[in-house]
Chains A and B, each alone.
Chain A
Amino acid sequence: MRLACNPGPLLAAVFCLAAGPAAGDDGPYVIEPVPVPDGVVLEVGALELLPDGRLAVGTRRGEVWLVTGAGGDDPDQVAFDLHASGLHEILGLAWREDGLYLTQRPELTRLRDLNGDGRADAFDTVSDFWHINGDYHEYAFGSRFTPDGEIWVTLCLTGSFNSHVPFRGWAARIDPDKGTTTPVAHGIRSPGGMGINAAGDVFYCDNQGPWNGSSALKHLQPGSFQGHPAGNRWFEITDALGERPPDPESGSRIEDQRRRIPNFVPPAVVLPHGKLGQSPTGIVCDLTDGAFGPFKEQLFVAEQTHSQVQRVFLEQVNGVYQGAAFPFLSGFASGNTAVALGADGVLYVGGSDRGWGARGGRRWNLERVRWDGGTPFEVLEMRVRPDGFELVFTEPVEHDSAADAASYHMEAYTYIYRSEYGSPEVDQVEPGLEVLEVSDDGRRVVLKVEPMTRGHVHDLRLPGIRAAGDGRALLNPRAWYTLNEIPGT
């Protein structure tokens, strides 16, 4: 079934308007709707780009649509082809030469079109090692292909607290060529999406709840414990991760418990609950080499409830991922769940608000973000130093504003690590700030921070920073750095 879009005057107008130069105060990134044919309900659960530029859209209602022209300038050229239907809540799509792989609730499936009519007619079960007891919460999310040719899946718990059947709360790596499925991590609560960074490491978002004081982006280091112990019972039936580690102690702090639990990998980047969204979902890495702006190799993280996309800068210290989260874009139309970024620099975002409300207000969305080529005035990177942080800006800063410690404000806090749902921010620290250096080119600022508190989110505001020349303020004068490790210690 092919459906063309009849965008109608309003949609066409939006399209043309958005395609113009514009941008202005809102920055150089513009959100535009992708026109969708009447009658199509696109509760987007997964997005993937095909080598020919088509966008594959997997939905919660179990359909796969192949969209032609989604990134183009002419809405009349957008066409939707129904590739497959009848599947069970698609939350992962990954393309490879031998077919389109999708993660649906019961299994990882390979779709093939044997007769070449554009519709899938072979549905091969690649891996279905996990159990499902019929609880709505037992979602399965799948990654794209890793550089090793694997797809990783994360398996939501049965509800927030329990793992009633194997292997809820675990992640596994699946090699379709070898036909192997190997447990790779445990301690997962409620994933919202998965992604792979430029180094090929796999990340997922976990959501605030029991043992998760805040939502966070987490690194699925092989063998790691991610924080929620409900799934630990399945060490009884697998030795893939060795001995069962001790369960964490409720009412503690992650910083303490990771010393007790040898394979505990702390959240790489906390996305402070309520401050920077509250339901992070899909993840995509900017591998466009500049086609999407200055944020090379950074991660973009979709946000369901607040209808946003956040940005994440990662670095490794003492072998542990950590880094900073920044606001990126707000104002999407529904509950963002999936993201994809084309080599041509078009970011696709889609989702739905079904079952969980979202600020956007629409039942579902498929939107795209295009960069108009202008430089957004932002904190590009926030890097840790033994005694503070180094900030890198996308544009030169005005020297006096950057050299003035009053242009910055920092507080630090963490969360209670506990079996109850969520946590307030606790153990607040207000460190002193000193500007040690503003580079001659105005792109770098070195801050001395005293004290640096391991395990804390370092919440930096930059209200006084101005751009050199025209004196603009930062588009997003805020960053949250998760300090798991301090270099040199």
Chain B
Amino acid sequence: MIVAAMMVAAGLLANESSAAEPAAGDEVAEITIRTLSAQMKYDLEAFRVAPGTRVRLLFDNQDMMIHNLIVCDAGDDKGMEVALAAWELAEEGFERAWIPDHPRVLAASSLLQPNTSEVIEFTAPETPGIYPYVCTIPGHAMLMHGEMRVEDPGRLFEELRFELHLGNWQRLPDFDAMEPHRSGELHEGRLDILMEGHANEFGLRFSGRLQIPEDGDYTFFLASDDGSRLYLDGGEIIDNDGVHNADEVKQATVPLQAGQVDVRLDYFERRGDKLLFMAWQGPSFGETILSTDIHPSRQAAASSDEDPAGMPLMADGDEAVIYRNFIRDAGSRAIGVGYSNGVNQAFNANTVNLALLWRGAFIDAQRHWSGRGQGFQGVLGYEAFAPAPGPALHVLESPDDEWPAINGNDRSQHLRFLGYELDELRRPTFRYQGHGVVVRDKIEPRGHFSEPGLEAVRLVVIEGEPAPGLHLIAAADATLVAGDGGYHETDHHWQVKVEGAEAILRRQGEGGDQQLLVPVTAPGEFRIIYRWIH
């Protein structure tokens, strides 16, 4: 019999796989662990198997570096002891696939080149516990590890059933007086609040049985978001009712006699985050988790320096804050600017144009300031919009010429980014050059983000002799139309006005954007005012 490893979409530990059906001699648990490209991580943080299960582990290296995977004997060190022993191989590490002679090595892959895979087979230990797996190539182990959880199915629920109820409650309702929406069995023997896929306004009553191996004191742990209540043989032992988060793990210790005990657990979720964590321990076994959710306090410590609160950047008093990095929709050469009153912009030095405006919070630096900093970071605030695509300036040979559409990582063919200068409030004036002119392009905010009429006032100064047909694109949007007070309005949350220069509104092609263009015919300056409307 083959027990396929199922992905468990648990909210807090999404990268977990489970194969903890009751063990029998001929069962094989099939597990797949991939490496994540460019992140120095496995894609599976944990999987479960029953003691003595034959494990067939497919290790698939999809990263651009070599990696291995070593399953270690039990320990809560994320495999660091074995990894450090591997480091000591220095001289021979490569030939020996960075596998040290260490008593905690249970199973090991070879060194896998990029885009290769290997199956390793081994038998899970008989002793329940946490068995880390780790890449032992020097420097990898701190980020690249996971846990094989060997759990005795005899410690899980038997005949576990659920009743699903729908409703909006502040406290646990009387499920006895209600007809369940649905009911069924949970064959895995673990409480699971996500199996029905309800996100908000639901309740669950779980009932099942636990085998008590011997007389003694047993401790039960319960945490939930929102409320829950635990009963043993009909008697309430933990009350965790109410709308709340799952930070607190409540516990109760009760003396039990060998045999079995009926367990009932009532739970409800109003809306927002949700979690149900339950575990128990007895005189002869350690804490065993009885839910698919795992409480954050029970998870291996965060594998990086990531702060759950992120690293939001903000203006320092009246001074603007600048963040050059990969910003989504502003390219790989983005220059983000957060102004003190909640106006933000991102300039794209690839396309050489204002790329984004948004209001509220500026940006979270955590993506780029933890780990290797892979990927593009989106903005942190709201009501973001891209005023216009492509380069800021373009020569239109005829009125029907298209404005060049270039990707945010593509370089402008004609404009050269020259840098920026900061004023006394650290607000940048971007400079760029092309088509005979040097442009100074600066945004100053006007108003406050929490009040109506917030504006980004963009001052454009042209120096030099513009090439014939040169235009600056102030805005583009399919819904752009002339409105009141000189503003051009959109169906979205912003409008735009040009002051100090003529502006042309034109539609590019059939069904294309309406474009607001400023002909650049001589040195001088003009303003473009972008306004958020409520």
Chain A residues close to B by CB (< 8 Å): 60-62, 85-89, 104-107, 109, 114, 120-125, 128, 131-137, 159-161, 165, 209, 273-275, 278-279, 305, 353-359, 363, 420-425
A136 touching B419 in the complex, CB below 8 Å, given contacts A88-B324, A159-B64, A305-B139:
no
| CB neighbours of A278 from chain B (8 A) | 138-139
B401 to chain A, nearest CB (A): 26
| CB neighbours of B142 from chain A (8 A) | 353, 357
Mask: chain B, 340-381; 1 = CB below 8 Å from A; 0 = not: 000000000110000000000000010001111111100000
Query: Once bound together, how far apart are the Cα atoms of A106 and B419, in whole Å?
Result: 11
A274 touching B93 in the complex, CB below 8 Å, given contacts A125-B419, A128-B349, A305-B139:
yes
Closest Cβ neighbor of A419 among chain B residues: B113
| CB neighbours of A355 from chain B (8 A) | 40, 371-373
For residue B237, CB closer than 8 A to chain A, the reply is: no
For residue B420, CB closer than 8 A to chain A, the reply is: yes
Tally of contacts, chain A with chain B, CB under 8 A: 132
Interface core residue of A61, A123, A273 (most chain B CB under 10 Å): A123
Looking at chain B's contact residues, the main secondary structure is loop
For residue B409, CB closer than 8 A to chain A, the reply is: yes
Is A354 within 8 A of B372, CB to CB? yes
A-B contact pairs, 28 of them (CB 8 A): A62-B323, A86-B321, A88-B324, A106-B333, A121-B421, A122-B421, A123-B422, A124-B418, A125-B416, A125-B417, A125-B419, A131-B409, A134-B331, A134-B375, A136-B373, A160-B65, A209-B65, A278-B139, A353-B142, A354-B305, A354-B371, A355-B371, A355-B373, A359-B87, A363-B305, A421-B113, A422-B94, A425-B95
A135 touching B38 in the complex, CB below 8 Å, given contacts A275-B91, A355-B371:
yes
For residue B110, CB closer than 8 A to chain A, the reply is: no
Is B417 within 8 A of A133, CB to CB? no
| CB neighbours of A85 from chain B (8 A) | 321-322
A134 touching B65 in the complex, CB below 8 Å, given contacts A61-B369, A124-B419, A355-B373:
no
| Interface members, chain B 80-95 (any A CB < 8 Å) | 87, 89-95
For residue B325, CB closer than 8 A to chain A, the reply is: yes
Is A354 within 8 A of B370, CB to CB? yes
| CB neighbours of B365 from chain A (8 A) | 61
| CB neighbours of A131 from chain B (8 A) | 409, 411
A394 to chain B, nearest CB (A): 26
Is A134 within 8 A of B94, CB to CB? no
| CB neighbours of B428 from chain A (8 A) | 123
Query: Once bound together, how far apart are the Cα atoms of A305 and B84, in whole Å?
Result: 12
A409 to chain B, nearest CB (A): 14
B339 to chain A, nearest CB (A): 13
Is B89 within 8 A of A106, CB to CB? no
| CB neighbours of A423 from chain B (8 A) | 94
| CB neighbours of A359 from chain B (8 A) | 87
Closest Cβ neighbor of A133 among chain B residues: B409
A280 to chain B, nearest CB (A): 13
Query: Once bound together, how far apart are the Cα atoms of A60 and B323, in whole Å?
Result: 12
Is B417 within 8 A of A128, CB to CB? yes
| CB neighbours of A273 from chain B (8 A) | 94
| CB neighbours of A105 from chain B (8 A) | 324
| CB neighbours of A133 from chain B (8 A) | 332, 409
Closest Cβ neighbor of B418 among chain A residues: A125
